[in-house]
Amino acid sequence: MGLIFSKIKIKTKLILIIIGFLWTFNGLFLFTFYSAKSLLFSYSISGALFSLQGILLLYHSQQENNISIKFEKTIIDFMGIIFIFFAVFIYPITGNLSGHFFPSAPVFPEPCPLTIVTFGVFFLARKKVPISLMAIPLIWSIVGIIGFIEYGVVADLAEAIIGAFSIVLILIRNRRIGSKSRESV
């Protein structure tokens, strides 16, 4: 989280690389290898989607005209920080309060909290966030409803709400950014 507030030039690249690595790690190891014992097809799909999201983030980290992450003290920036804080600190506490304790409780950087952190980082973007980067986190946030219904993980319901809310706000902001760039031409 400290990297978000730093002034180093390669901050966006580092943040996208870290998040991309975590998505890829979850895809390859948590879903593909660790969960492969269950032989559930859904784990294979989840593993592929998480790996793809990681690759997309890593790809965007290397683009010159990337999304440019910067904290500028706007309302949406503070919301992004709140989402990140929630995912890292409040999500596990909520899990404990609903009867899920470590190691069975989801904690960052596992899939659900990682999805919320990803949306929080997207709130800090100064340029348009490509829809390709938002699709898989949105899908996974909707899957969070299953975690709430089947396992009683209250924070997973929050993930679904945060996902839907984030997509709407990011798309509105993307449109405003697009309007500003067309006006300056």
First to last CA, the chain: 35
Q: Which residue has the higher pLDDT, 182 or 142?
A: 142
Q: What residues make up the domain containing 163? A: 2-183
- Predicted pLDDT at 94: 81
Question: Could you report the per-residue pLDDT of 97-131, keeping only the tens digit for each?
Answer: 777 666 666 777 888 899 999 999 999 998 999 99
Is 101 strand, coil or helix? coil
Count up the domains in the chain and report the number: 1
**What is the C-alpha to C-alpha distance for residues 151 and 146, in angstroms, rounded to an integer?**
8
- Predicted pLDDT at 134: 95
Residue 119, amino acid: F
- Predicted pLDDT at 20: 95
